């Protein structure tokens, strides 16, 4: 297991990255100018997708500015380790014998604007964040380990996916963790981002105004507003609320901005999957169960066969009804274009997508490419 603890052991696959250029403040002028002018259009790449044949090279980097590589995991002492060393650093991927990380470093050489960020944690592996963030010693270990991982992989920074600080004390510790990371990953050389829920119930635990001193941007997870945990069916990624009190992307953005957090540091999340409610034909209805994995369908499999795709323009959400999914709520190119326009209007930093590999092939159904074009008014 490759481990990036406080005093990392020799990393046997480190030499495979020696051909990559070290990260420096003065990057090539072309890459810098592109990065500075473009809205961010970022995707998450989960490492397990390589086993489905969806390798890093399968995505279209002409319209992707950042890739978040998901996930590295966190040990109780603050050390960071690869969650799947074979997929991450050993198997042959896209002609590289250094796994997905090796493939991505090659892609970075081919696309000079591309920035690569390793995401740490995730919904299923965040259990150690609270205890690590509570101790100065383990916070420092985390920062040292993060630097070891980033420098070994040739990536540009890290993403904190702690889901999530669940009280004010953990929110304070979250800020202390960011401060400790910045001691080892200074902001003139490395990116530091965080994925955060799009709900005031979670965001209120963090002093976002202070957090922006450490973060380059946040990925606001503006989805999963409804699902199998909900008493009735509902849109899971609507931009605007259908009624007072309903969660929505715009409500989350407005709350974050109200704290003094700069709009240009917010990336609005787009789900590249739909949520299913069997037995329902629209939001606000009783439903009988779920379909697919945890009631989800990948976007590239939507709309479902034999159904019609419909757009609710009032809340900005797409859906289809019937077939094997009942009421399935998701984003489509038209809703993503509206969300991109909202980003432009509110001067946000851009969009991100979970996940890039669930997207449709390049063309008019691609959420990532249509979002990129709409962000840049192309």
Residue 35 has φ and ψ, to the nearest 5°, of -60, -40
Answer for the pair 25, 188: CB distance below 8 angstroms, yes or no: yes
Residue 268 has φ and ψ, to the nearest 5°, of -85, 130
Instruction: Count CB-CB contacts under 10 A for residue 326.
Output: 24
3-state secondary structure of 20: coil
Answer for the pair 264, 239: CB distance below 8 angstroms, yes or no: no
Cα separation, 203 vs 194, in Å, equals 12
- Catalogue the E-assigned strands of 278-346: 296-298, 309-312, 317-322, 326-330
DSSP string, 98-135: SHHHHHHHHHHHH-TT-EEEEEEE-TTS-TTHHHHHT-
DSSP string, 157-177: EEEEE-S---SHHHHHHHHHH
Q: With 0-12 CB in 10 A as exposed, 13-18 as middle and 19+ as buried, what is 221?
A: buried
**Among this protein's residues, is 163 annotated catalytic?**
yes
Helix axes 367-375, 333-346, angle to 10 degrees: 30
Annotated catalytic residue, options 163, 169, 254, 308: 163
Measured at the CA of 110, the angle between CA 154 and CA 116, to 5 degrees, comes to 35
Cα separation, 30 vs 93, in Å, equals 28
Name the residue among 347, 369, 338 with its Cα closest to residue 240. Answer: 338
Cα separation, 368 vs 34, in Å, equals 18
Three-state SS sequence of 76-101: CCCCEEECCHHHHHHCCECCECCHHH
Looking at the annotation, which residues are catalytic? Answer: 163
């Amino acid at each position: 297991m490759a481990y990036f603890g406080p005093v990392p052991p020799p990393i046997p696959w480190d030499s495979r990255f020696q051909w990559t250029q070290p990260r420096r403040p003065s990057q090539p002028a072309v890459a810098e100018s592109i990065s500075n002018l473009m809205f961010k259009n970022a995707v998450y790449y989960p490492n397990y997708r390589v086993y489905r044949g969806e390798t890093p090279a399968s995505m279209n980097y002409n319209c992707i500015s950042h890739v978040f590589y998901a996930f590295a995991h966190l040990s109780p002492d603050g050390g960071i380790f690869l969650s799947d060393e074979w997929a991450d650093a050993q198997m042959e991927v896209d002609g590289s014998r250094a796994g997905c990380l090796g493939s991505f470093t090659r892609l970075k050489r081919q696309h000079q604007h591309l920035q690569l960020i390793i995401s740490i944690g995730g919904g299923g592996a965040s259990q150690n964040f609270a205890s690590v963030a509570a101790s100065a010693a383990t916070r420092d270990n985390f920062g040292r380990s993060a630097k070891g991982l980033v420098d070994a992989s040739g990536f540009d920074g890290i993403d904190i996916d702690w889901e999530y600080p669940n009280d004010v004390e953990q929110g304070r510790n979250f800020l202390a963790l960011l401060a400790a990371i910045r001691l080892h990953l200074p902001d003139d050389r490395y990116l530091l981002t965080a994925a955060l829920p799009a709900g005031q119930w979670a965001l209120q635990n963090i002093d976002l105004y202070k957090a922006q001193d450490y973060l380059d941007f946040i990925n606001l997870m503006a989805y999963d507003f409804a699902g199998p945990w909900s008493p009735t069916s509902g849109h899971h990624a609507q931009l605007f609320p259908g009624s007072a009190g309903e969660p929505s992307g715009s409500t989350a953005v407005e709350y974050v901005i109200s704290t003094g957090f700069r709009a240009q540091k917010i990336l609005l999340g787009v789900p590249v999957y739909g949520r299913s409610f069997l037995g329902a034909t629209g939001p606000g209805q009783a439903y009988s169960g779920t379909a697919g994995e945890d009631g989800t369908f990948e976007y590239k499999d939507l709309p479902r066969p034999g159904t019609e795709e419909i757009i609710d323009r009032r809340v900005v959400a797409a859906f289809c009804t019937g077939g094997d999914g009942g009421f399935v709520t998701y984003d489509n190119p038209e809703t993503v274009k509206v969300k991109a326009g909202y980003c432009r209007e509110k001067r946000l930093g851009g969009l991100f997508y979970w996940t890039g590999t669930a997207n449709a092939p390049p063309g008019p159904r691609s959420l990532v490419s249509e979002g990129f074009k709409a962000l840049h008014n192309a």
